[in-house]
């Protein structure tokens, strides 16, 4: 690997918003590797089957993407080296000829179902909501079904034959954006087509040191002493302590100084270690 054409892993099949976000960044010069789940995107990047990957991190309406943060709890899961912002306009797609009254199931990724809660409650209060791996996987499944509809992008109506658009712009809020992380295998192995401007963001994983009494989050954050743009919490599973937490702090650079930002971050991580916590740099971009 790392010779010839660049391979970028995305949540597949082609037609997902993740693929659109990746295409907007990498264009047609790279090869796209379709994964069935977000976790698989991380896996193929960490195992160097792909040079880079793109995963959804957060939606402006429905919030953080749980599967992404859960993958980031693991060791050797790769590193974040960039971000992409994409406006998301959902459509309801059905197989050509399926009528509104035929629809018993509505399939999509849990994020898309969550971003269209009001629409679904109003127009399809009795339809069953089926959670599938991606929006395009939903479209693909619906193309062979007589009683299903998929929430996905307009693009899927051209990617999969026999589909037609029943509703357009069905997200609960017009101002609906999804933010993606670009991931690569290791901090020093950024794929070259990713433009590296002066770094202004990084993601830090914070947890109580293993085996210790949990450190209060304020103690960890105070020791870190950095400007936090986003802070997310997930259960820490590699411990017998019930309701232990891992926090993910996305840091934002205040002023662009002369010193490399990395030095400042490394000092901050050391302060957390010294205070009895555990801090891990998950990426800088």
Contacts with its own copies by CB under 8 A lie at 58-64, 66, 105, 107, 110, 113-114, 128-132, 173, 175, 177, 179, 216-218, 221-222, 226-235, 237, 240, 242-243, 245, 247
Calculate the alpha carbon distances from 35 to 10, 15, 115, 134 in Å.
6, 12, 23, 10
Question: Minimum CB separation from its own copies for residue 204, in Å?
Answer: 13
Q: Residue 188: how many CB atoms within 10 A of its CB?
A: 7
Q: Which is nearer to its own copies, 3 or 242 (CB)?
A: 242
Question: Minimum CB separation from its own copies for residue 6, in Å?
Answer: 29
Calculate the alpha carbon distances from 79 to 65, 70, 82 in Å.
17, 14, 9
Question: Minimum CB separation from its own copies for residue 33, in Å?
Answer: 21
Tokens linked to 256: 């662009």
Helix pair 217-224, 261-274: axis angle to 10 deg: 140
For residues 157 and 216, what is the distance between their CA atoms, to the nearest angstrom?
49
Q: Which is nearer to its own copies, 127 or 166 (CB)?
A: 127
Q: Which is nearer to its own copies, 70 or 189 (CB)?
A: 70
Q: Residue 252: how many CB atoms within 10 A of its CB?
A: 12
Question: Minimum CB separation from its own copies for residue 65, in Å?
Answer: 12
Question: Minimum CB separation from its own copies for residue 234, in Å?
Answer: 5
Q: Which is nearer to its own copies, 254 or 260 (CB)?
A: 254
Numbers of helices and strands, H then E, in the chain: 9, 15
Question: Minimum CB separation from its own copies for residue 79, in Å?
Answer: 22
Q: Pick from 61, 65, 63: which is nearest to 18 by CA?
A: 65
Q: Which is nearer to its own copies, 34 or 232 (CB)?
A: 232
Calculate the alpha carbon distances from 262 to 241, 256, 257, 278 in Å.
33, 12, 11, 18
Question: Minimum CB separation from its own copies for residue 186, in Å?
Answer: 27
Q: Which is nearer to its own copies, 29 or 218 (CB)?
A: 218
Q: Which is nearer to its own copies, 123 or 234 (CB)?
A: 234
CA angle 243, 249, 135 (to 5 degrees): 85
Q: Is the Cβ–Cβ distance between 107 and 142 less than 8 Å? A: yes
């Amino acid at each position: 690997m790392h010779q010839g054409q660049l391979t970028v892993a995305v949540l597949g099949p082609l037609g997902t918003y993740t693929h659109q976000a990746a295409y907007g960044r990498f264009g047609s010069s790279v090869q796209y590797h379709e994964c069935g789940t977000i976790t698989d995107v991380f896996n193929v990047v960490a195992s160097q089957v792909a040079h880079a990957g793109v995963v959804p991190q957060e939606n402006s309406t429905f919030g953080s993407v749980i599967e992404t943060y859960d993958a980031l709890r693991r060791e050797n899961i790769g590193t974040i080296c960039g971000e992409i912002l994409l406006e998301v306009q959902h459509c309801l797609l059905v197989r050509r000829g399926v009528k509104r009254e035929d629809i018993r199931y509505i399939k999509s990724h849990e994020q898309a179902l969550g971003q269209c809660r009001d629409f679904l409650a109003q127009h399809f209060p009795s339809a069953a909501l089926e959670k599938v791996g991606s929006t395009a996987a939903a479209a693909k499944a619906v193309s062979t079904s007589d009683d299903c509809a998929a929430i996905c992008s307009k693009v899927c109506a051209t990617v999969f034959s026999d589909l037609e658009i029943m509703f357009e712009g069905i997200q609960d809020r017009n101002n609906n954006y999804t933010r993606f992380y670009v991931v690569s295998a290791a901090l020093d192995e950024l794929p070259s087509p990713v433009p590296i401007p002066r770094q202004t963001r990084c993601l830090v994983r914070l947890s109580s040191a293993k085996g210790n009494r949990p450190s209060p989050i304020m103690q960890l954050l105070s020791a870190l002493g950095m400007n936090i743009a986003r802070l997310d919490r997930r259960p820490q599973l590699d411990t017998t302590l019930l309701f232990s937490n891992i926090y993910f702090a996305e840091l934002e650079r205040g002023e662009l100084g002369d010193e490399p930002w990395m030095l400042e971050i490394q000092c901050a991580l050391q302060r957390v270690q010294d205070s009895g916590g555990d801090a891990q740099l998950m990426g800088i971009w």
